[in-house]
Amino acid sequence: MSQGRIPKQVLTRRRFLQAAALAGLSLAGCGAPGGGAQPTLPPASLTATVEAKGVSVSTPIAGKTNVTWWTHNNPAFVAANKEMIRRFEQANSNIHIVYQYFPYDVFIRKLQAGYRSGTVADMQQMFGTWVTDYAKNGLLEPVPPDIAGSMEDRFWPAALGAYKWEGKYYGMPNEYNLENGGMLANPKLFQEANIKAYPQTWAELISDAQRLTKRDQKGKIQQVGFAFTNNDSITFLFLSMILQQGATYWAKDGVHVDFSTEAAKKAWADETALVTKYKVDSEQAYTGDSYEIFFRGKAGMAMRGPWVIAVAKEQFPQFKFDYVPMPPYAGTEPKFAAESGWGEVVNAKAKPEIKEAAWKFIEFIHQPENLRDWNILTFTIPSLKELKDDKKILQNAPQMKTSFEVLQYGQWVGPVQDRDRFWQYVHDAFTSVELGKMSPEDALKDAEKKINAMIDEHVGP
């Protein structure tokens, strides 16, 4: 949460997933913004105090190879997981998946404590950003060579990135988790502003956003032109603006960030100008997330990933909106960075026969005819290249076409270490510029310094 302003609830895909589970949403999916860094593993002394609340879908069956599987309790994910189990066991009668799911926060603690104490399940559905750390610590089993050999051909690089450590893969992603490429647009407000078409260039986006922005007599924003000042979008937009200039935000060592390049400084100046010069959004204009102000009819455009379409269907079913391509900031290719999303991993300490059965189940899920339906049920973008523009997926969610069009331009965000702190440092710097507390140049230097210090905490200077 940014400092020095009216508190705005930060809704990441992780928080949405948690909220959806608590509310018992019946979404036909909701790719739950995403993950983020987990807290440091708790001391062993805390293991026994971890909550064990969860739902056991099945129990071991004598005479079969029983493979335990833990996931979070988002209703759409649970429904999709149960369907995969049903299909797999029908085709493999000698293997039984002992499935248990937990409230999101409990699930995180169960993973940490379970690996600490050796009581974790044989398989877990893990967010990609977490996989690397678990793999580094020798806790995950590498993907068998006969499966791993084709993974780079089968999966999108952005979806696969965090599952790789020192040349080996440690799991298989189910989804392509992206926040870029598309945006919400309110056709009613465009019509009222006499704007005939959605923006095709960055200059048009700014111009349209200015025309869509409305203020009261005191100058306070009453209608936002382009809502993007949420924790995810501020950072993802910044990184994409660097990439679209043909540059990178990583230093030459590939470990630390470098925001001192001309591309980074230009991207930052132009992004912060959206609130300081063009004033098409403001962190002080509203509470809640960018998508919420949009679905209250108070924003002409809003930057959010395709998961928000499922939110609209569930929470705002009568609201008329479009999900359209977001114009690139520079060049013609809408390059962007993405975290690796949810997928399956295997406990390195499981028995050999259990590992073999677990990978058989995981490979089964990732067959196109199965993963297609998993993605439909969870309203997530498929990790498999083969499912791009899949007719069945688009029949169920036609607005996903916008996201499908940009998948080839995505790259894995990279080894950010502590995702939450990385994003928060960028967000805090942005807020400091908007509030006039720091210049764009100083704020960017400060963000770089804090991020690199955080990285050093994890990997050393």
In a domain, 440, yes or no: yes
Q: Tell me what pLDDT residue 15 has.
A: 52
Region at 181 (left for phi over 0; alpha for psi -120 to 50; beta for the rest): left
How many Cα atoms sit within 13 Å of 387 on the Cβ side?
27
Tally of domains in the chain: 2
Same domain, 350 and 298: no
Q: Is the pLDDT of residue 31 over 60?
A: no
Q: β-strands 342-346, 172-173: how paired?
A: antiparallel
Residue 14 binned pLDDT confidence (cut-offs 50, 70, 90): low
With pLDDT > 90 as the criterion, what percentage of the chain qualifies?
A: 88
In whole numbers, what is the pLDDT of the chain averaged over residues?
Answer: 91
Same domain, 108 and 205: no
* Segment 315-359, tens digit of pLDDT: 999 999 999 999 999 999 999 999 999 999 999 999 999 999 999
Residue 304 tokens, joined: 């959010």
Residue with tokens 């006039």: 436
Contact between residue 121 and residue 70 where contact means Cβ atoms under 8 Å apart: yes
In a domain, 390, yes or no: yes
Contacts of 47 (CB under 8 A, 6+ apart): 113, 116, 117
* Segment 83-95, tens digit of pLDDT: 999 999 999 999 9
In a domain, 100, yes or no: yes
Q: Tell me what pLDDT residue 13 has.
A: 57
Chain centre to alpha carbon of residue 59: 32
Return the bridge partners of 216, or none.
Answer: none
Same domain, 334 and 347: no
For helices 419-434 and 440-459, give the axis angle rounded to 10 degrees. 170
The CATH number of the domain where 117 resides is what?
3.40.190.10
Residue 18 binned pLDDT confidence (cut-offs 50, 70, 90): low
Order of all β-strands in the sheet with 172-173: 55-56, 95-102, 65-72, 123-127, 342-346, 172-173
Q: Tell me what pLDDT residue 353 has.
A: 98
Same domain, 99 and 242: no
Q: Tell me what pLDDT residue 171 has.
A: 98
Same domain, 274 and 394: no
The domain in which residue 97 lies consists of: 65-177+340-404
When pLDDT is averaged across residues 27-40 and rounded to a whole number, the result is: 37
Same domain, 104 and 142: yes
Contacts of 408 (CB under 8 A, 6+ apart): 156
Same domain, 368 and 260: no
Q: Tell me what pLDDT residue 45 has.
A: 36
Return the bridge partners of 410, or none.
Answer: 336
When pLDDT is averaged across residues 77-104 and rounded to a whole number, the result is: 98
Contact between residue 190 and residue 198 where contact means Cβ atoms under 8 Å apart: yes
When pLDDT is averaged across residues 208-215 and rounded to a whole number, the result is: 98
What's the rounded Cα separation, in Å, for the pair 252 and 136? 22
Q: Is the pLDDT of residue 38 over 60?
A: no
Contact between residue 140 and residue 171 where contact means Cβ atoms under 8 Å apart: yes
When pLDDT is averaged across residues 428-456 and rounded to a whole number, the result is: 98
* Segment 121-173, tens digit of pLDDT: 999 999 999 999 999 999 999 999 999 999 999 999 999 999 999 999 999 99
Model pTM?
A: 0.90
Same domain, 149 and 84: yes
Q: Is the pLDDT of residue 385 over 80?
A: yes
Q: Is the pLDDT of residue 302 over 50?
A: yes
Q: Is the pLDDT of residue 444 over 80?
A: yes
Same domain, 328 and 350: no
Q: Tell me what pLDDT residue 12 has.
A: 55
In a domain, 49, yes or no: no
Same domain, 368 and 455: no
Q: Is the pLDDT of residue 24 over 70?
A: no
In a domain, 30, yes or no: no
In a domain, 107, yes or no: yes
Same domain, 291 and 217: yes
In a domain, 397, yes or no: yes
Flag the least confident range among 1-5, 97-101, 362-366. 1-5
Same domain, 249 and 229: yes
When pLDDT is averaged across residues 354-376 and rounded to a whole number, the result is: 98
Q: Tell me what pLDDT residue 201 has.
A: 98
Question: What backbone phi and psi angles, to 5 degrees, belong to 84?
Answer: -65, -40
When pLDDT is averaged across residues 379-392 and rounded to a whole number, the result is: 98
In a domain, 332, yes or no: yes
* Segment 225-283, tens digit of pLDDT: 999 999 999 999 999 999 999 999 999 999 999 999 999 999 999 999 999 999 999 99
